[in-house]
């Protein structure tokens, strides 16, 4: 196992790897559900679903609290730093002519890194900590 130092604090390297996973997964679910709360919950659930690290036939792992906390930390950070953008665009549909299509994406705001710097509060654990139930 590898340890890394971030601002003088030691972290397991594989736990730190959960943050980009959580950020990307949160953005996917935000675009899908269009709801911040649902995107955070689904991100945590997905982190537990693939908790054994296997992309094919994963075994859910609710016992790895360290990784689960890091997934939640990443999802909370992403919820403050990405917003949903929906725009209507005209696309050419062959003989049908043009039609309107709705394109949804996430936009990086870069507002705060506080959720990455701070421990998860009990309020957030109670709200999103599925592994505690």
Measured between alpha carbons, how far is 63 from 132 in angstroms, rounded to an integer?
9
Report the pLDDT value the prediction gives residue 61, as an integer from 0 to 100: 85
Q: Give pLDDT tens digits along the chain (133 positions).
A: 789 998 888 988 988 999 999 999 999 999 999 999 999 999 999 999 998 888 888 988 899 899 999 999 999 999 999 999 999 999 998 998 999 999 999 999 999 899 998 899 999 999 999 999 8
* Domain count across the chain: 1
**Strands 82-92 and 98-108, sheet pairing:** antiparallel
pLDDT of residue 127: 97
User: Is the Cβ–Cβ distance between 118 and 76 less than 8 Å?
Assistant: no
pLDDT of residue 85: 97
pTM: 0.88
Asked, for residue 1, whether it belongs to a domain, the answer is: no
What angle, rounded to 10 degrees, do the helices at 18-33 and 65-81 form? 50
Q: Is residue 2 part of a domain?
A: no
Predicted confidence at residue 48, as pLDDT, reads 95
Q: Which residues, in sequence order, are bridge partners of residue 88?
A: 102
Parent domain of 85: 7-132
């Amino acid at each position: 196992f590898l340890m890394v130092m971030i601002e003088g604090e030691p972290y397991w390297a594989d736990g730190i790897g959960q943050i980009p996973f959580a950020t990307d997964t949160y953005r996917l679910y935000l675009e899908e559900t269009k709801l911040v709360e649902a995107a955070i919950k689904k991100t945590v659930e997905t982190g537990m679903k693939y908790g054994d690290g296997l992309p094919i036939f994963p075994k859910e792992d609710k016992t790895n609290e360290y990784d689960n906390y890091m997934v939640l930390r990443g999802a909370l950070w992403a919820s403050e730093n990405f917003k949903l953008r929906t725009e209507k665009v005209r696309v050419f549909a062959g003989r049908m002519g043009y039609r309107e299509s709705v394109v949804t994406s996430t936009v990086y705001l870069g507002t705060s890194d506080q959720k990455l710097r701070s421990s998860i509060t009990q309020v957030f654990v109670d709200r999103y900590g599925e592994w505690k139930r």
